[in-house]
Amino acid sequence: MEQYNVIQTKAKRVRSNPTRKWLFEEEKALIEFLTQNRDFEKPTSQLYYRRFSNESNIAVDWKLTRSKVRYMRTTYNKAKAWEGSTGAGSMEGETMKATLLKMCTFFYEMEEIFGSRVVESAVINESLENNENYSEVDLNESASSAAVCEGEGIDKTIRKGIYSRTAASDILQFQSEMIQLKKQKMEQELSFKEKELELRERELRIKEKEVELREKQELLLKDKEMEMKLKELESNEKIKIMEIQMKERLAMEELKHKYK
The tens place of each residue's pLDDT in the chain, 260 residues long, gives 445 454 555 555 555 556 788 999 999 999 999 999 988 898 999 999 999 999 999 999 999 999 999 999 999 999 889 888 877 777 777 888 888 899 999 999 988 888 755 444 443 444 444 444 444 434 334 344 334 344 445 454 444 454 455 666 778 878 888 898 888 889 999 999 999 999 999 999 999 999 989 998 998 888 888 889 888 888 898 898 999 989 888 888 888 887 76
Name, in order, each residue with C-beta under 8 angstroms of 48's C-beta and a sequence gap of 6 or more: 37, 39, 40, 41, 42, 62
Picking from 125, 149, 173, the residue at the C-terminal end of a domain is 149
What are the backbone angles phi and psi of residue 22, rounded to the nearest 5°?
-95, 135
Task: Report the C-alpha gap between 3 and 1 in whole angstroms.
Answer: 6
Determine, yes or no, domain membership for 239: no
DSSP letter for 41, please.
T
Determine, yes or no, domain membership for 2: no
Half-sphere exposure of 35 (CA within 13 A, CB side): 13
Determine, yes or no, domain membership for 135: yes
Same domain? For 124 and 73 the reply is yes
Could you tell me how far CA 63 lies from the centroid of its own chain?
A: 36
Picking from 84, 114, 149, the residue at the C-terminal end of a domain is 149
Same domain? For 129 and 178 the reply is no
Determine, yes or no, domain membership for 100: yes
Determine, yes or no, domain membership for 243: no
Q: Using an 8 Å Cβ cutoff, are 135 and 19 in contact?
A: yes
Same domain? For 140 and 60 the reply is yes
Same domain? For 40 and 145 the reply is yes
Same domain? For 183 and 135 the reply is no
Picking from 149, 184, 219, the residue at the C-terminal end of a domain is 149
> Domain tally for the chain?
2
pTM given for the model: 0.41
DSSP letter for 11, please.
P
Same domain? For 61 and 116 the reply is yes
Same domain? For 77 and 101 the reply is yes
Same domain? For 33 and 86 the reply is yes
Q: Which domain holds residue 204?
A: 151-230
Same domain? For 162 and 213 the reply is yes
Same domain? For 43 and 141 the reply is yes
Model pLDDT, residue 144: 43
Same domain? For 144 and 160 the reply is no
Determine, yes or no, domain membership for 258: no
Determine, yes or no, domain membership for 4: no
